[in-house]
Amino acid sequence: MSKFKLKKKFIKSLIIITFLIFFIYRLYNRVYAFNYKYNELKDYKNIDVIVKQLKSSDEMKVSYIVKYKQDEFLLNIYNNKNEENFEEKNNIYKYGNILNVTVKMENIEVLKNPGEFNYSLYLNSNNIVTSISTNNIKPAGSRVGNILLKTIFNYKEFLNNKLSQKLNNKHFNLFKSIIYSDDSNLDSKIKLDFKRCASSFILTVSGTHIYFFIYVLNIFIKNKNLKTNILTFILLILFSIFSGGKIPVLRAVISKIIFMVCDTLNIKISRYKRFGLTAIIILSYNIYYIFNVGFILSFSCVLSIMLFSNIINSYINKLCYTTVLKKYIYNQKNILCIILNKIINLLSINFSIIIGTFPLQVNFFSQINIFSVIYSLVLSLISCFEYMLGFLTLFLSFIPIISDILILANYILLDVIIKVASFLSSKSIMINLASFSLLQIIFYYSIIAIKMYKLHILKREVKAKRKALEKVLQIVTVCLFMIILFTYVYASYFENYVIFFNVKQGNMALIKQDGKVILVDMGSTSNNVANNTLENFLKYKGINKIDLILITHFHLDHVNGIYNLDSSIKILNIAYLKPQKSFNVSEEFDKVGSFISKNNISKIELNFLDKLEYKNVEINVICPRDVTIFSSDIANSNSTIYMIKIYDKNYLFMGDATKESEEYYIDYLNKIDNVSLLNDFKNIYVLQVGHHGSDTSTSEEFLNFINVKYAVISSNKKVYSHPSINVLERLNKFNIKYYITEKVGAIKF
């Protein structure tokens, strides 16, 4: 081996070793920082932080990305005292400002409910250690910091000020989102319209944006040479900083820079190697980026385009060429031919993305639009003009008259985009789909891998071997597809279960049986926990309808989740026993009544021993009959309890019923002539323990009267110190296996 080859091999090995050392260092650095380094902030501490950028602001909370020591945090300033002009007072800080704050690390709880959003992982995947909160903030000067960053952020502030003066909030925020991925204040209606049209990618800088960025740049740079390549290289880096360094931007910019460097040095590099090298560079900085939705979708979209777009493009071209129109256009080298080819290219790209990212899109967004290809094509075509106008505005915003003309043109085009997106969204047919399991996703991409193997590698094999392998791969493909289909359909439509959710201190259980969805209570002492938990679960399972909500009584921790439930989730019926005025729950009762009227929900007023039936679900209503059960907590004592029979399994939901309630029901059930109901009480499969495991409930006499296999306690120790040790001892005495939601999360039967 020549000295040159040995030297080349040595340099290559040295580069790989250096990179591995850096990768291991960054991996350790991120894991340590995100999990152990800042334990000091678990208690209140006075520190100085440096402002990097404003994240979001409203009248209740202003959030900044700040730097403390060597890492980034999300600083939340809360308006706990309902101050006037709170937002104006607290969103004035700029890059480089030093703030003296008394902060505490926010407790990001993991409730372990199915479909739960992992906020801590979300922050880490954006290179943020955690969120810290304060309501005590003092400016402590400023520093020059990085002059380049300060210049970029000053220019961004200048552009934003100029745009905000000429555009209304809706158009201004859409411009920011489309051109440099700042969607922090984007109108929720616009965001939803783009989502329903499967065009959310337009609101995030991608490879297409970078193409138009360079296209517009080339208007000003005529001759391509080493100097202009270096200038383009610098401007791309500046743009990635300007747009907040988001993953899709970094991916597009790094990929383009690798291409430019290799082109300048006459190094041949395939697009697959460039794709892999880009991913490695990004992940070597923060391995947690692999959990970032932007990273996952951006890279999967690009890979899908590389794998499928040429194949689909070729197929569409052949299909179109058979038509008279296509033949005519091909024979006439005119603008129609160019436009049609562009449309075919966009269609190929859209179809490629759908094929390559289908299970991921379903898992992230829970819905698909059956016209997604057409709608995204229309919005993509219009948005291309906005890309050009937007980047021209970005480059020329400092020129007075020209920038004003460009901003006006942007306004007109943005208005067209808003109206088209709104119109298409109103004509969308959305299908709710359950999330794919990890195994189903693996099988899905295994089928794609087999298809790619057959197209690109298998044809190289000798004929006899190729035919045998084709048969085997065909059988494997069919088997994988059938497994995905049957398991997905079963989980979505035929799986039956009962789930007791962890809603901290509160109650919420869901029954799914033969396509029917029934809730027993829906509340928590923590605001929005119940409704967020349920919304996440329903999206996870592809469910958009609740057939019945059963309310045990009208305390906040049993009903407050109903009010804020997403309007896309249809509630058909709400059932309850009307409380007496002496129970002091009239406020919540009236709120539930208003909610029912406002949303056109059917109301079912219950009575003693009413029976509701939904296919194989039998609901027996147990409540005081023409009497009031007196105790120290009269509303709890008179909770409605539900005996729900699903086939041969009995589930007993006690609400907040007390020992006095239990005594009343034991006495009553022993007297009435209802053998079936009495037998059901003697054979309880799951008992939802009364009053969250308080010692005011679940007496020894009651446990002796019923026969229970499993018990569930929905509680949070910090609130009322539930469950009581006495209750746990009584459950143990009767050999009842119990689960506490605070400890184990959601419990599924």
Whether residue 120 is found in the same domain as residue 181: no
pLDDT in tens, 520-577: 999 999 888 999 999 999 999 989 899 999 999 999 999 999 998 888 899 999 999 8
Say whether both 462 and 610 belong to one domain.
Answer: no
Instruction: Indicate whether 529 and 666 sit together in one domain.
Output: yes
- Per-residue pLDDT averaged across 662-690, rounded? 86
Does residue 593 fall inside a structural domain? yes
- Pair (254, 403) in one structural domain: yes
Predicted pLDDT at 16: 81
In a domain, 15, yes or no: yes
Query: pTM, whole model, 2 decimals?
Result: 0.84
Q: Does residue 508 have a pLDDT over 90? A: yes
Instruction: Based on the fold, state whether residues 731 and 678 are members of the same structural domain.
Output: yes
Q: Is the pLDDT of residue 328 over 70?
A: no
Q: What does the alpha-carbon distance between residue 148 and residue 159 come to, in Å, rounded to a whole number?
A: 17
Residue where a domain terminates, one of 120, 143, 166: 143
pLDDT at 142 over 60: yes
Q: Is 455 within the bounds of a domain?
A: yes
| Residues 225 and 127 placed together within one structural domain of the fold | no
pLDDT value at residue 188: 85
pLDDT score for 326? 55
What CATH number is associated with residue 101? 2.40.50.140
**459 assigned to some structural domain:** yes
Q: Point out the domain boundary residue: 469, 494, 519.
A: 494
Mean pLDDT of the chain: 87
Q: Who has greater pLDDT, 676 or 291?
A: 291
- Mean pLDDT throughout 637-665? 92
Is 466 contained in some domain? yes
- Per-residue pLDDT band for 221 (boundaries 50, 70, 90) equals confident
Q: What is the mean pLDDT of residues 493-504?
A: 94
317 pLDDT above the threshold of 90:
no
Instruction: List C-alpha distances in Å: 236 to 106, 241, 283, 330.
Output: 36, 9, 20, 37
What is the per-residue pLDDT for 444? 94
Which of helix, strand or coil describes residue 284? Answer: helix
12: domain range?
Answer: 1-33
* In-domain check, residue 716: yes
Q: Which amino acid is at 486?
A: F
d(CA 327, CA 246): 44
Question: What local confidence, expressed as pLDDT, does residue 325 receive?
Answer: 55
574 in Cβ contact with 596 (< 8 Å): yes
- Which pLDDT tens digit goes with each residue over 575-599? 998 888 778 777 888 999 999 999 9
- Residues 654 and 506 reside in one and the same domain: yes
Percent of the chain residues topping a pLDDT of 90: 39
**Is 336 a member of any domain?**
no
- pLDDT at residue 89 is higher than 70: yes
Least confident of 64-73, 259-268, 660-669, 701-710: 259-268
CB 30 within 8 A of CB 73: no
Read off the pLDDT of each residue in 725-740 and give the average, rounded to a whole number. Answer: 94
- 344: closest CA among 365, 321, 372, 371? 321
Same domain, 210 and 270: yes
The per-residue pLDDT for 412 is 93
pLDDT at 205 (0 to 100): 76
Residues 16 and 126 in one domain: no
- The distance of Cα 206 from the centroid of its chain, to the nearest Å, equals 20
Q: Are residues 20 and 75 in the same domain?
A: no
DSSP 553-607: ---HHHHTTTTTS-TTSEE-EEEEPPPPGGGS-HHHHHHHHHHHHHTT-EEEE--
Q: What is the mean pLDDT of residues 349-367?
A: 87
pLDDT confidence bin for 329, thresholds 50/70/90: low
Does residue 609 have a pLDDT over 90?
Answer: no
Residues 456 and 576 in one domain: no
Task: Indicate if 24 and 71 belong to the same structural domain.
Answer: no
Whole-number pLDDT of residue 140 = 84
Residue 684 has pLDDT above 90, yes or no: yes
Give the span between the Cα atoms of 619 and 665, in whole angstroms: 17
Whether 33 shows a pLDDT value over 80: the answer reads yes
Mean pLDDT along residues 607-630? 86
Question: Structurally, how many domains does the chain consist of?
Answer: 5
Please tell me whether the peptide bond between 624 and the residue prior to it is cis, using omega within 30 degrees of 0: no
Q: Point out which residues pair with 646 in neighbouring strands.
A: 617, 649
What mean pLDDT is predicted for residues 126-142? 87
**What is residue 524's predicted lDDT score, i.e. its pLDDT?**
94
Q: Do residues 737 and 686 touch, judged by C-beta distance below 8 A?
A: no
473 pLDDT more than 70:
yes
